[in-house]
Structure 1
Amino acid sequence: MFVIWFLLFIIFGCVALRGYFKVLHESIRNAVVVTKIPKSNDIDIRSYKQAPGPLPWPVLGNLAMLGQYEVPFEGFTELSKKYGDVYSLTLGTTRCLIVSNLKLIREVLNENGKFFGGRPNFIRYNVLFGGDRNNSLALCDWSALQQKRRNLARRHCSPRDASSLFQKMSDVGCFEMEEFMQKLNHLIPSEKKSTDLHIKSYIQQTCANMFSQYMCSVRFDYEDTEFQKIVEYFDEIFWEINQGYAVDFLPWLSPFYKSHMNKIMNWSSTIRKFILNRIINDREQNIDLDEPEKDFTDALLKSLVSDQKNVSRDTIIFMLEDFIGGHSAVGNLVMLALAYIVRYPEVGRRIQEEIDGVLGSEKRNVNLMDIKQMPYTVATVYEVLRYSSSPIVPHVATEDAVIAGCGVTAGTIVFINNYKLNTSEEYWENPKVFDPHRFLESNNSNTNKQRTTSFSEDHHAPEGTTKYRLKKNIPHFLPFSIGKRTCIGQNLVRGFGFIMLANIMREYNVTSKDLTKIHTYPACVALPANTFSLTLSHRF
């Protein structure tokens, strides 16, 4: 009750003071700033205009405006209709810049990437990573250590097509799908017409084993309760990172979030102990510096010996936590793909036709060597990413900078509005329609013209050929960001996601007994750990 009365006091106080602050806001905007602004480059921020934006309320800023929408990115997009493709908001007391078109996004991330290498200093981010978000690759500020960590990870976590690591990723993925299918076969007896199943936990365990086997040469039994628990915690953290909370911008609310912070601290510390006890300790004692590195863990442990100045034991633990945690993104992506297949059954049938055309009478798993012959399946993964409009982690200006002629002061949080980029009619034909074909073009076509087709059209290819291919360049599709902070694990996400989706569809028809329960979230590639069930039945 105290909290409610306290917040009401603040809101009514804000109403009383809003007139005063409006005058003050306009005076500041129009005045010549005489205060000396510290800067580390030669930009005089005082000589540039400020980005337009709504008047902030005292204390709350513009947070109340975003509260009207299911997710903030919907609000960002609506406000862009009034204020343009680059505008400012004040969230709490934090200055923010919203960037909503391709040209400006490239200006921020490519042309001026060196000025926007920071990440928000949210309390939650620090709690998740041992009290310091800079332990995380995704949530840290750019630094020499960050560059070192990316260099260490690049070879193993960005496997190139046709490389030995690409083949290893394919082999690991197919092996784990065999284990996954055995598990499902116990849960879905062939004599039953269909089985309703909460499949997400099994998908996440399989993805976790794919990542741990690929990166650490170790896998865990599905019945291992400790393994089940850390997979659940990883999934909870992935959902957590994809959410926004008032405390992110109003840190004085942190006492009211104490139990929540304790919960996420328990998740992350439990995961860290598991990685240390079940992966690192044994490997560290048996590392042979003269042997070629066999996986990412070897590379990390050898760097610990050879570069003690820049690489610590904590660095290794957090890097493994970060990259193994990437499995949660894959599992959620696959679950979203299955949700859209349930909603649009023709998509699933086309994937199955493509699989059958590639495998023929062969009784084997789909692997990464099949990927070029399965453009529609890959296009479905891309369409899931577009349709869910996965938001890009916010950036922070580390120095004063200029975007679209507007001054941006150091410390400003910059939101890349990928939601608008992925849902705008300026870039996509019929963007509200879920249609993987928008990522395809005819094998005989030399044009990249956008085209959305109806599901009634015939896309069957002659045996042994593919009638369509993936479009090579869609500049406005940026699911993994661009610039120096591009997602370094994107090849793993695409590769393992493709293997899992294709092999589930090879073996099963996927439906739902109640479509109203298939709930996904706009501008979010995550689903809650305890989400909807799916109905599976054997195809053969």
Structure 2
Amino acid sequence: MILNLAVTPGEVTTSLIILVMVFVFVRALRSKGRKQLSPPGPWSFPIIGNLLQLGEHPYLTLMEMRKKYGDVFLLKLGMVPVLVVNGMEMVKQVLLKDGEHFAGRPNMYTFSFLAEGKSLSFSVNYGESWKLHKKIASKALRTLSNAEAKSSTCSCLLEEHVTEEVSELVTVFVELSSKNGGFDPRNAVTCAVANVVCALCFGKRYDHSDEEFLKIVKTNDDLLKASSAANPADFIPCLRYLPLQIINAPREFYRALNGFIALHVQDHLATYDKDHIRDITDALINVCHNKYAATKTDTLNDSEIISTVNDLFGAGFETVSTCLYWSFLYLIHYPEIQAKIQGEIDGNIGLKPPRFEDRKILPYTEAFISEVFRHASFLPFTIPHCTTADTTLNGYFIPRKTCTFINMYQVNHDETIWDNPSLFRPDRFLNENRELNKSLVEKVLIFGMGIRKCLGEDVARNEIFIFITAVLQQLKLKKCPRAKLDLTPTYGGSVSLRCPSGSQTPGLK
């Protein structure tokens, strides 16, 4: 018997198709059990995404979206997918437990020039070089916070600078009140805070009318305003090539500020004396020239020092001044709270100039500051993060290089953490013994947490404490007749006050 084993071309084709279908089916069955879901989120428009849905107060809009989509959801801002994280547990997961996976920065247009000198705050690249940079900056900051002061009455150079400036601020307030009866304190506060930053960074303070000083204060303010408002080029990349003021203004202001700081750093490099550390710039140079100068890779170059000083200058300026604006408004709006703080000051330190160590014996004042941070939440989001690797969050698959927004405002107003979060109530931070509840204070998010947490938190808290206690020790803040108080915020990258003329007007006690 002879068998015919010939196979037609049609049969071969059919067999191949069947084999491919079986292979695909088997692969689908195997992957079905381990396939990870993408986060839920709202439907978006082409090109603009969900930008039009955010409204005037994005943090509130995202809180509403949370009710539908949960603590972790995805939306599109322009053409950029953005992961939004709410809820204390999810925030801790992102910033602490999986901090390495979320430690990057997105490749946004604004960050591209803010990170030109390897900025700590805005550097897109996260790795060993960034960690060393942060370690050096932290050491330099601690040096100034713990260094021997020139005056025996102060515990450190930082305290000396703050004490000097708040004394000058009170004098300015008295003069303005005597001359005008009522006044807006914002310019005076801005100059005082800026002088503390200049003294810390450059070992130099300026007269409030100094033209160079006022110019750099205005440049910094312009940069903050220009870069805090949402830049469309961050989310619609093709726009970055257009010659539009809203897109290019931040870069121009940044270069002007960077030029000012570069001149001071170069002067410090030329006059540096390891036995006489004048300020943070000297401290950075000192750290680089000593312990970390063993190899060229273990130090910072001149441009990195300039960028680090720039980071500290901007951070020390914005957070402190904004908190003080809000604090004065709350103190005017709630005179009974102002009276309680003044009573605590009178009973514990009297007329002695306040010092950092007095934070331990003024718990209600500390509670007030924490409540300002929580209730105002003037930094509603952290600086955007970015995933450094494929990861998972709350059961969802998050690809590498996913832009991530942390909604600190939501955490600070979460009803599962705070009783009646819409109420301004400093007492919530005190226990039954009228002592500060530190575990509750730690739940307030304003400086972030984890790897990318703001380096200057302790500096800012100490500085704000001295400004508030020294002012209230000598003055009573009150509203001018016929002025209206408006606590409605306006949103940029931070939440600012919408202040009618004369709405924040201290008067003499």
TM bin, normalised by shorter chain, reads: 0.7 to 0.9
| 3-state SS, counterpart of residue 218 of structure 1 | coil
Distance 1:241 1:348, change over 3 A: farther
- Whichever residue aligns with residue 285 of structure 2, its letter is L
1:233 aligns with 2:219: yes
CA distance in 1 between counterparts of 2:332 and 2:492 reads 20
- Who is 1:487 aligned against? 454
TM alignment of 1:512-527, pairs within 5 A: 512-513=479-480, 514-521=483-490, 525-527=494-496
Q: 1:330 aligns with which of 311, 317, 320?
A: 320
Distance 1:528 1:520, change over 3 A: closer
| 3-state SS, counterpart of residue 266 of structure 2 | helix
1:439 aligns with 2:429: yes
1:507 aligns with 2:474: yes
CA distance in 1 between counterparts of 2:421 and 2:247 reads 38
- Who is 2:10 aligned against? none
Distance 1:75 1:133, change over 3 A: farther
Does the Cα contact within 8 Å between 1:385 and 1:525 map onto a contact in 2? Answer: no
| 3-state SS, counterpart of residue 98 of structure 1 | strand
CA distance in 2 between counterparts of 1:123 and 1:337 reads 33
CA distance in 2 between counterparts of 1:392 and 1:45 reads 35
CA distance in 2 between counterparts of 1:237 and 1:346 reads 37
TM alignment of 1:29-428, pairs within 5 A: 47-66=35-54, 69-127=55-113, 129=114, 132=115, 135-141=118-124, 142-158=126-142, 167-189=156-178, 195-254=181-240, 258-277=244-263, 279-289=264-274, 291=275, 293-303=277-287, 305=289, 306=293, 308-309=296-297, 310-325=299-314, 326-360=316-350, 362=351, 364-389=352-377, 390=379, 391-428=381-418
- Unpaired runs of at least 5, structure 1: 1-30, 35-43, 444-467
Which runs of 4 or more aligned residues in structure 1 lie more than 6 Å from their structure 2 counterparts after TM superposition?
A: 159-163, 528-531
Does the Cα contact within 8 Å between 1:108 and 1:116 map onto a contact in 2? Answer: yes
CA distance in 1 between counterparts of 2:423 and 2:116 reads 38
Does the Cα contact within 8 Å between 2:174 and 2:508 map onto a contact in 1? Answer: no
Does the Cα contact within 8 Å between 1:158 and 1:491 map onto a contact in 2? Answer: no
CA distance in 1 between counterparts of 2:33 and 2:326 reads 44
CA distance in 2 between counterparts of 1:379 and 1:492 reads 17
CA distance in 1 between counterparts of 2:484 and 2:313 reads 32
Distance 1:340 1:71, change over 3 A: same
- Whichever residue aligns with residue 212 of structure 1, its letter is C
Q: With a CA cutoff of 8 Å and minimum separation of 6, indicate the structure with the bigger relative contact order.
A: 1
Does the Cα contact within 8 Å between 1:342 and 1:512 map onto a contact in 2? Answer: yes
CA distance in 2 between counterparts of 1:498 and 1:432 reads 24
Distance 1:124 1:45, change over 3 A: farther
Distance 1:45 1:517, change over 3 A: farther
- Who is 1:538 aligned against? 508
Summarize deviations over 1:138-163 as a string: whole Å, max 9, x none.
12132333212211121343579987
CA distance in 2 between counterparts of 1:202 and 1:282 reads 28
CA distance in 2 between counterparts of 1:294 and 1:133 reads 27
Distance 1:273 1:245, change over 3 A: closer
In the TM superposition, residue 393 of structure 1 has moved relative to its aligned partner by 1.5
In the TM superposition, residue 479 of structure 1 has moved relative to its aligned partner by 2.0
- Who is 1:470 aligned against? 436
Distance 1:520 1:55, change over 3 A: closer
Summarize deviations over 1:306-351 as a string: whole Å, max 9, x none.
3644411111111111112222210111001111122222221111
- Whichever residue aligns with residue 432 of structure 2, its letter is S
Does the Cα contact within 8 Å between 1:388 and 1:525 map onto a contact in 2? Answer: no
| 3-state SS, counterpart of residue 77 of structure 1 | helix
In the TM superposition, residue 59 of structure 1 has moved relative to its aligned partner by 1.5
Summarize deviations over 1:87-109 as a string: whole Å, max 9, x none.
11122221111111111111111
| 3-state SS, counterpart of residue 439 of structure 2 | coil
| 3-state SS, counterpart of residue 230 of structure 2 | coil
CA distance in 2 between counterparts of 1:114 and 1:263 reads 33
RMSD over aligned Cα atoms: 2.9
Distance 1:339 1:516, change over 3 A: closer
Does the Cα contact within 8 Å between 1:109 and 1:482 map onto a contact in 2? Answer: yes
Distance 1:106 1:250, change over 3 A: same
- Who is 1:7 aligned against? none
Distance 1:490 1:241, change over 3 A: farther
CA distance in 2 between counterparts of 1:218 and 1:324 reads 13
In the TM superposition, residue 270 of structure 1 has moved relative to its aligned partner by 2.1
- Unpaired runs of at least 5, structure 2: 1-23, 150-154
Structure 1 stretch displaced more, 262-271 or 203-212: 262-271
| 3-state SS, counterpart of residue 47 of structure 1 | coil
- Whichever residue aligns with residue 286 of structure 1, its letter is T
In the TM superposition, residue 508 of structure 1 has moved relative to its aligned partner by 2.0
- Who is 1:26 aligned against? none
TM-score, reference length from structure 1: 0.79
Does the Cα contact within 8 Å between 1:388 and 1:523 map onto a contact in 2? Answer: no
CA distance in 2 between counterparts of 1:72 and 1:469 reads 35
Rg bigger for which structure?
A: 2
| 3-state SS, counterpart of residue 120 of structure 2 | coil
Q: How many residues align?
A: 464
Does the Cα contact within 8 Å between 2:488 and 2:497 map onto a contact in 1? Answer: no
CA distance in 2 between counterparts of 1:238 and 1:499 reads 24
Distance 1:101 1:488, change over 3 A: same
| 3-state SS, counterpart of residue 512 of structure 1 | coil
In the TM superposition, residue 233 of structure 1 has moved relative to its aligned partner by 2.2
CA distance in 2 between counterparts of 1:272 and 1:199 reads 28
